Structure 1
Amino acid sequence: MSTVSGDIPVRTFEGRRWLFPSSVLHALDADPDRAGRRPRRTARDWLVDSSCFLLAVIVGAAAANTMRHEPYLPHVLTVVDVLIGGLACGAVWLRRRWPLGLAVAMIPVSFVSATAGGASMVALFTVAVHRPFRHLAWITVANLALIPLFSWLRPDPDLPFLAVVIFALLLTLLVVCLGMFVRTKRQLMLTLRDRARRAETEAGLRAERAQRLAREAIAREMHDVLAHRLTLLSVHAGALEFRPDAPREEIARAAGVIRESAHEALQDLREIIGVLRAADGDEAGGRPQPTLAALEALVAESRGAGMKVVLDSHVGDPAAVPASVGRTAYRIAQEGLTNARKHAPGAEVTVRVTGTPGDGLDITVRNPAPETEAPHVPGSGQGLIGLTERATLAGGRLEHRVTEDGGFEVRARLPWPAA
């Protein structure tokens, strides 16, 4: 087989089906339309069945020739023996349809007819191949038990009794072992097929899960990156809509913020799409991802957009914070400022960052209740959920709550391992 696919069936064996037994092909095809149907013989089946029939005939002919040297055996019994043996050889063609029934019928037949010995061995071999061991066991025991009695009633004129019994016992056990070997080989083939099918299914599930996780990560990143920019656009566009009589300088400044935010949002979107298009999935060639050292620039940008932001940082060297932890802290501050701009415009926002190596990094974004009703800015409400998941993945935790004065607070604690 060149490949093993999830539906290994017929087309995998096209042109080579004759190499496999019909029972194996029937199990491998697993076609619901063929359920309950008896598998048709393949070319290999016809070859094997013909060989078994010829073997039974040859053994029967050898036994008939031996009976000529038994002067005490009446001629009538010889003829009857040969007729029964011929019918037994013909019954070999039924071994695939009724393997167990044929083997049971051959037990008394082979006892009364020496020429049916070959057919009896073929039937025993068939049971060993196609039926469970519990069926094979008692049929084998019955055959072995009758061998000494048959050898005593029909002694061989040329060989001693003990030699005949030992030879017949060994031959019977050899046939049983050969049949069990063939059965084991077929079961191994089916087991390998099932394992390959399960392995492919599991690989598909893993690929699907990895794809889903990648999409979720990209969705979170797009939200974190673009929500900040687009909120600036929405707020300043709303201000222009509600205050068309604003001084020319304020209108020009708001338009500048809108233009700059749109440019930054477009640049960020290009970077994310570039990551999607990258063949190796790395971020080489794009702008570096923000870390804690970029927090001051984020605060300055928010102040330039008209927000009141107080940065209270007690981290001696922001660049010493691990990149993954610093990036998570930056995204938390960015989302906190975005939410404050949406829901508490004009309120003073406090961003507090503290931490040392080994003790962890704490970041808090807090804003009081808005003095005036905030204009409606559409949002999905998924930002805080995404931040909680991001903090958890970084090994920390995030909490958010409404404060006693009606404001809002986001607090996170992230791990900062000691150097």
Structure 2
Amino acid sequence: MTRTTTRDRAADLGFFLFAGAFSVLTADNALAGRELSEGALFADQLAGGLACAALFLRRRWPVQLAAALLVAGSFSHFVTGPTLVAIFTVAAHRPPRVTRWTAALAAAPGPLLLLRQPELSESAVASGITYYALVTCAFGWGLYTRSRHRLIAELHDRAERAGTEARRQAREDIAREMHDVLAHRLSLLSVHAGALEFRPDAPPEDVRRAGEVIRASAHQALEDLREIIGVLRLPTGEDAPERPQPTLRDLPRLVEESRGAGMRVDLGLRVDDDGEAPAATGRTVYRIVQEGLTNARKHAPDAAVTVTVGGGPAEGLVVEVRNALPQGAPAAAIPGAGQGLAGLAERVRLADGRLEHGRSGGDFVLRARLPWAPARHVPAPAWSR
């Protein structure tokens, strides 16, 4: 059983007062021309009082209460107010099928009145019209209230689903950015750590340079992780501080990082107005190249990599990362979650582009086609780099 709230109690009291006031204020007109003894009038008033008090049970037994009051209303005027409230309650809180049966019961006095009095007076006709008008208003108000409550419930449900979807999308965005940012940093760290493991007799200068790269990569990975956690801990509705986002102009720096890790990377950047490319497009191109270099470093560490970015405002951009397939499994394969290409495909889809990847002869090719300016805005988490 639903727990009664303070608002429900206030509504019950309001309906109780309305029913009593309605019966009292309309008594003179309704009883005009009827000769009632004092005992009959007292009984009528007593029935009305009991009916008003019974309204506090309308939430528990609305249909039974409405049926009882409709029957009692055929003999007592003072029950009319409580009857209207009971009819409203059924229409507002019960299914349409139950409401129809209650409406049929409410309409029953009309035919019975015609059968009992073949010749109706003007006052009887006026009373009948008034009765049906009041009953219709009660049903109409109840049906309106029911539809309004259902609409509000549906809007709340939609808002809740939208909030859930927004939170899910935010988690996916964070997971995608976390993979793109940290996988690149950690793969650099893993390559140099592996080189030190397998070349303990390396020259001191090489060891020093590898140590510097490991330290810088680990430091940057920790910084990125700290900022990600900081964003997750922000109070709801508070935005994270803005950080510069990667663009097409950052591709040479990205390639130099990979070259510093010992990769052989050739960059071909042939883009018209590359400095003026939309921020979202430049960021997507950067992430594609970053993921391609990370995968090549994991699965084909000794293979040369060719990165080509070309196009312009008219034809869009084509991004390609190509590397030779490894002759065998690497001696110490860098572990991964296997979600990089899936997340990259989602990123490209959000940018209205198309992603292709797979074998092409003896090479593995990662290729994406992107419009110069995506139709949809592709948001970037403030902490991404």
State the partner residue of 1:408: 364
Tell me how far 1:294 sits from its aligned partner.
0.6
Residue number among 106, 110, 113 corresponding to 1:143 in the alignment: 113
Q: Deviations over 1:3-49 (max 9, x none)?
A: xxxx995234276254255xxxxxxxxxxxxxxxxxxxxxx28x847
State the partner residue of 1:281: 239
State the partner residue of 2:382: none
Tell me the SS of whatever aligns to 1:142. Answer: helix
Tell me the SS of whatever aligns to 1:207. Answer: helix
Tell me how far 1:395 sits from its aligned partner.
0.6
Q: Deviations over 1:200-255 (max 9, x none)?
A: 23222212211111111111111111110000111111221222222222222211
1:322 aligns with 2:278: yes
Residue number among 356, 366, 378 corresponding to 2:335 in the alignment: 378
Q: Is the 8 A contact 2:310 2:318 kept in 1?
A: yes
Tell me the SS of whatever aligns to 1:408. Answer: strand
Classify 1:314/1:126 alpha carbon distance in 2 versus 1 (closer, same or farther; 3 Å): closer
1:63 aligns with 2:34: yes
| Alpha-carbon separation, structure 2, partners of 1:307 and 1:417 | 32
State the partner residue of 2:61: none
State the partner residue of 1:167: 123
Equivalences for 1:200-279 in 2 at 5 Å? 200-276=156-232, 277=234
State the partner residue of 1:39: none
Tell me the SS of whatever aligns to 1:64. Answer: coil
Tell me how far 1:197 sits from its aligned partner.
2.9
Tell me how far 1:85 sits from its aligned partner.
9.1
Classify 1:98/1:250 alpha carbon distance in 2 versus 1 (closer, same or farther; 3 Å): closer
State the partner residue of 2:136: 180
Tell me the SS of whatever aligns to 2:34. Answer: helix
Tell me how far 1:54 sits from its aligned partner.
11
State the partner residue of 1:19: 13
Supply the AA of the counterpart residue of 2:310.
T
Residue number among 299, 302, 305 corresponding to 2:255 in the alignment: 299
Classify 1:124/1:226 alpha carbon distance in 2 versus 1 (closer, same or farther; 3 Å): closer
- Decide which moves more: 347-356 or 48-57: 48-57
Tell me how far 1:322 sits from its aligned partner.
1.3
| Alpha-carbon separation, structure 2, partners of 1:121 and 1:270 | 70
> Highest CA radius of gyration, 1 or 2?
1
Tell me the SS of whatever aligns to 1:63. Answer: coil
| Alpha-carbon separation, structure 2, partners of 1:329 and 1:141 | 80
Tell me the SS of whatever aligns to 1:416. Answer: coil
| Total equivalences in the alignment | 349
State TM-score, norm by structure 2. Answer: 0.77
Tell me the SS of whatever aligns to 2:210. Answer: helix
Tell me how far 1:185 sits from its aligned partner.
2.8
Q: Is the 8 A contact 1:397 1:414 kept in 2?
A: yes
Tell me the SS of whatever aligns to 1:412. Answer: strand
Tell me how far 1:134 sits from its aligned partner.
3.4
Residue number among 4, 8, 12 corresponding to 1:10 in the alignment: 4
Tell me how far 1:298 sits from its aligned partner.
0.6
Supply the AA of the counterpart residue of 2:239.
G
Tell me the SS of whatever aligns to 2:302. Answer: coil
Q: Percent identity?
A: 42
Q: Is the 8 A contact 2:359 2:365 kept in 1?
A: yes
State the partner residue of 1:158: none
Classify 1:53/1:401 alpha carbon distance in 2 versus 1 (closer, same or farther; 3 Å): same
Classify 1:322/1:105 alpha carbon distance in 2 versus 1 (closer, same or farther; 3 Å): closer
- Decide which moves more: 187-196 or 350-359: 187-196
State TM-score, norm by structure 1. Answer: 0.71
Q: Is the 8 A contact 1:56 1:122 kept in 2?
A: no
Supply the AA of the counterpart residue of 2:112.
A
Q: Is the 8 A contact 1:309 1:350 kept in 2?
A: yes
Tell me how far 1:142 sits from its aligned partner.
3.0
Tell me the SS of whatever aligns to 1:244. Answer: coil
Equivalences for 1:45-84 in 2 at 5 Å? 48=19, 52=23, 63-64=34-35
| Alpha-carbon separation, structure 2, partners of 1:392 and 1:337 | 20
Supply the AA of the counterpart residue of 1:143.
L
RMSD: 3.7
Tell me the SS of whatever aligns to 2:333. Answer: coil
State the partner residue of 2:94: none
| Alpha-carbon separation, structure 2, partners of 1:63 and 1:401 | 96
Tell me how far 1:60 sits from its aligned partner.
6.9
Q: Is the 8 A contact 1:60 1:85 kept in 2?
A: no
- Decide which moves more: 179-188 or 309-318: 179-188
Tell me how far 1:280 sits from its aligned partner.
4.1
Unaligned residue ranges in structure 1 (runs of 5+): 1-6, 22-43, 67-81, 108-115, 152-164
| Alpha-carbon separation, structure 2, partners of 1:8 and 1:195 | 20
Classify 1:56/1:123 alpha carbon distance in 2 versus 1 (closer, same or farther; 3 Å): farther
